[in-house]
Amino acid sequence: MPQSYTSLIYHIVFGTKNGLPLIAKDLAAGLHAYMAGILKHLDGRPILIGGVENHVHILTILSQKRSVEDVLRDLKANSSRWVHQTFRERSEFAWQDGYSAFTVSVRGIPQVKGYIAKQEAHHREVPFAEELREFLKMHEIAFDERYI
C-alpha cells in the first residue's frame, strides 16, 4: 500500500502541577491559542482547546508520524516555556507530569466539543479529580488513586 490513512482523534486532558489554579482567565485564551500553534507545528490539527484554572481539555487530530507521548511532552514543555517568557510574574506555572488521552470517533467530535465548551459550568458542580475518575472508568482504564 503506497499510502497510510489514519483517523487519530484524541480528547486529551491534563492539569497544572499539584492541581493549582494557575490558568487565570487573562492567561487562558492566549495559552490555548499558543497550544494550538504548537499542535499545528507538530503536524496536528487542533479542533478545540478549553478548560478551567487547573486543567486543560484538548480535542485534536494527531499525525501518525508522532507518538501521543512525544506530542504531549513537546506541547507541555513549550507552552510552559511560553508562559514563563510572556508572563514573567507567573514563574510558578507548570503542568503535571502525566496526562490522559482518550480516542474519539469522527461522530463523537460534536459531543466532545460541547463538553469542552461547557467546562466552566461543569466544574461549578464537579471537581477535576472526580471528572478524571469518571473518564477513566468510562474508558475502562485501570488507575492508581494516588495519581488522581
* CATH number of residue 97's parent domain: 3.30.70.1290
Residue 137 vs residues 54, 105, 130: alpha-carbon distances, Å: 21, 18, 11
Instruction: Report pLDDT for 77.
Output: 98
Report yes or no on 17 lying in a domain: yes
Each residue's pLDDT expressed in tens, for the chain with a length of 148 residues: 578 899 999 999 999 999 999 999 999 999 999 999 999 999 999 999 999 999 999 999 999 999 999 999 999 999 999 999 999 999 999 999 999 999 999 999 999 999 999 999 999 999 999 999 999 999 999 999 988 8
Q: HSE on the CB side for 57, CA within 13 Å?
A: 22
Q: Helices H, strands E: what count in the chain?
A: 5, 4
What range does the domain containing 82 cover? 9-141
148 inside domain: no
Residues forming a β-bridge with 100: 13
SS3 content of the chain, % helix, strand, coil (to 5): 50, 20, 30
Number of structural domains found in the chain: 1
Residue 30 lies in a domain: yes
- In a domain, residue 1? The reply is no
pLDDT at 148: 86
Question: Is residue 147 situated within a structural domain?
Answer: no
pLDDT of 78-118, one tens digit each? Answer: 999 999 999 999 999 999 999 999 999 999 999 999 999 99
Q: Is residue 91 part of a domain?
A: yes
